Amino acid sequence: MEFDIDRARKETPGATKVAHLNNAGAALMPAKVRDAQIRHLRLEAEIGGYEAADRMRDAIEKVYVSVGDLIGAGDDEIAIVENATVGWDMAFYSIPFKAGDRILTSEAEYAANYVAFLQVAKRTGAVIETIPSAETGETSVEALKRMLDDRVKLVAITHVPTNGGLTNPAAEIGAALKDHPALYLLDACQSVGQMPIDVGAIGCDMLSATGRKYLRGPRGIGFLYVRHDLIKTLEPPMIDHYAANWTQPDAYTLRPDARRFENWENNYAARLGLGIAVDYAREWGLEAIQTRVRQLAGYLRDELRAIPTIAVMDIGREQSGIVTFTKADEAGLAVKARMRAQGINISVSHPGSTLLDATRRNLPPLIRASVHYYNIEEEISRLIRLLRV
Ligand SMILES: Cc1ncc(COP(=O)(O)O)c(C=O)c1O
């Protein structure tokens, strides 16, 4: 299917103002997402915050259905939280680790997750082990299979790492874990919104994602999926009177659904914006989005490779819309500043955000240009022209 780029850009207020190649940071919101939030903020100012939430109750509830539909989950399996990290942490810290339990993770695991592994390892005596990567760069499923034993309690993988262009083989990993009792936690922060995601097909038990990146939703909002049967076995690391009912002076009962991982006070404008963003992405179709993102990222990588001072640092059998590179004669931050002055948004990804991968590959700060379906070849060509200088 041909993408109606003109429509996509017309519905994106920022598209005429900037060449936004920082979609892995935060994508440009469609007007609909912006408007839904502003409408709700106005309503809160005009009739009161609690009263506005009451009035919008159905739409607020529907956000769970939209998010569930996006990833093939039930609405009761979704918790809407502040960001991907809170979602991931609520899942991870719910797991009762003990000394000797093994946590298997990928070489490109994100810093926020890895420091949590380290903290839990320090507290409990659980051990963290990295699954080696295949020669092509993605997590090796064969290596994972060889590492499995009955001490493996968790396999935690980043689907699309924050840099390095990679898409990890999430469903192949799920298939390898099918008959193993280990829990499978997928960080889908950078993949949700740029490709179809189906938790059943992937076979993960828990999945976290954020609103502002490829979903084109608001900042400060994200979600966690937890498989239905698992929810009741997990005690969240912290709870309030929304996550649990205070039933007796000395007792509480946790909610039966994934909202046990939430708390009471929320940004309803952001929630509504998230719901609209999800519906909007589904209107375009996640397969069509993926095709377009791949095509633009492929074009960008090809053009970059033709510049002698540039080295594309992307790995993996399957690659994402996140393109990373270095420039021999110019530091990443200088390139970013020079592009910003020319109305092009890119970012710099520091080694500390994926320290294992950065150490293994001896990576300096990487220049990151991340494309979305509403970008056009002309924006990429402008970037390339300026990089040639
Ligand atoms: C792979 C990955 N996981 C998790 C996160 C954290 O997401 P959030 O900032 O929404 O908590 C990021 C953010 O860049 C990321 O790239």
Note the pLDDT tens digit of each residue in 310-365. Answer: 999 999 999 999 999 999 999 999 999 999 999 999 999 999 999 999 999 999 99
Q: Average model confidence (pLDDT) for the chain?
A: 97
Long-range CB pairs of 357-364, under 8 A, 24+ apart, other chains included: 357/107, 357/108, 357/161, 357/164, 360/107, 361/313, 363/313, 364/326, 364/332
Q: Is the C-beta atom of 267 inside 6 A of ligand 1? A: no
At residue 125, the pLDDT reads: 98
Closest CA to 351 of 370, 332, 328: 332
H or E element, residue 69: helix 57-71
State the pTM of this model. Answer: 0.97
Instruction: Evaluate if residue 2 carries a pLDDT over 80.
Output: no
| Pocket residue to mutate for ligand 1, from 189, 350, 366, most atoms within 8 A of Cβ | 189
Taking the centre of ligand 1 as the mean of its atom positions, its distance from the CA of residue 189, in whole angstroms, is 5
Q: What percent of the chain has pLDDT over 90?
A: 99
Q: Are 162 and 353 in contact (CB under 8 A)?
A: yes
Instruction: Evaluate if residue 36 carries a pLDDT over 70.
Output: yes
At residue 200, the pLDDT reads: 98
Taking the centre of ligand 1 as the mean of its atom positions, its distance from the CA of residue 11, in whole angstroms, is 26
Structure tokens, 247: 């039933």
Q: Is the C-beta atom of 158 inside 6 A of ligand 1? A: yes
Q: What percent of the chain has pLDDT over 70?
A: 100
The domains of the chain, with CATH numbers, are 5-29+285-387 (3.90.1150.10), 34-283 (3.40.640.10)
Q: Is the C-beta atom of 211 inside 6 A of ligand 1? A: no
CA–CA distance from 303 to each of 31, 137, 298, 300, 311 (Å)?
A: 31, 22, 9, 5, 11
CA–CA distance from 286 to each of 194, 195, 383 (Å)?
A: 7, 5, 26
- Nearest residue (CA) to ligand 1, atom 15: 162
Residue whose tokens read 């997590």? 139
The average pLDDT across 245-259 equals 98
CA–CA distance from 51 to each of 45, 159, 312 (Å)?
A: 10, 39, 52
Atom of ligand 1 nearest to the CA of 211: 10
At residue 1, the pLDDT reads: 58
Note the pLDDT tens digit of each residue in 229-248. Answer: 999 999 999 999 999 999 99
The average pLDDT across 74-103 equals 98
H or E element, residue 81: strand 78-81
Q: Is the C-beta atom of 263 inside 6 A of ligand 1? A: no
Tell me whether strands 102-106 and 78-81 are parallel, antiparallel or unpaired: unpaired
